[in-house]
Amino acid sequence: MANYIKWIRERVGHDPIILNASAAFILNDEDKVLLLRRSDRNEEIWGVPGGMMEIGESAEDTMKREVLEETGLNVKVEKFLGAYTKDRFDSYPNGDKAYVILFVFVCRVIDGTPIADNEEAAELRYFNPENFPTNFRHKQVLEDYKSNLSGIIR
């Protein structure tokens, strides 16, 4: 089923639902991480490329699709960082509410040139993990990455 979120939202409105999402810590040759400045939020927020899973997709397939859509990059997985299930309640500008289970992968670019899609990503920029923007939204994920963890569940 394409566009599962639209389908489910037509049935439940803005009420809280559980969603599955995947994201990528994309590293360059200097081990800096590609972040995107969200264009779909009222406040300035930096995050990693990623998005919601569609029915029939694996977590890895979701991440690769979302990365390609938001950045124009094809990536390969180096490792599975973890699944994040705690304190993941999110409210969206349109009033939707969701509890998000997030799967995070550490990746390298196979091909492509980073280009912000302007629908969700206003800007793409590589950051040193020690110097992320203060309004980066996945602080626990960053700490786990800096600690060289993998396969964790929080």
Burial of 116 (0-12, 13-18, 19+ CB in 10 A): middle
How many residues does the structure list for the chain? Answer: 154
Contact assessment for residue 117 and residue 123, using Cβ atoms and an 8 Å cutoff? no
From the candidates 43, 123, 130, 143, which is the catalytic residue? 123
For residue 127, the model assigns a pLDDT of 98
Question: What is the per-residue pLDDT across 11-64, written as a single tens digit (0 to 9) for each?
Answer: 999 999 999 999 999 999 999 999 999 887 777 889 999 999 999 999 999 999
Using CA atoms, how far apart are residues 52 and 65, in angstroms rounded to an integer? 10
| Active site (annotated) includes residue 123 | yes
Question: What is the per-residue pLDDT across 106-142, written as a single tens digit (0 to 9) for each?
Answer: 999 999 999 988 888 899 999 999 999 999 989 999 9
Burial of 154 (0-12, 13-18, 19+ CB in 10 A): middle
pLDDT confidence tier of residue 1, bands split at 50, 70 and 90: low
Instruction: Identify the CATH homologous superfamily for domain 14-153.
Output: Nucleoside Triphosphate Pyrophosphohydrolase (3.90.79.10)
Q: Which of 3-7, 22-26, 75-79 has the lowest mean pLDDT?
A: 3-7
The pair of three-digit structure tokens given for residue 3, joined into one six-digit string: 């566009």
Number of continuous H segments (helices) and E segments (strands) in the chain: 3, 9
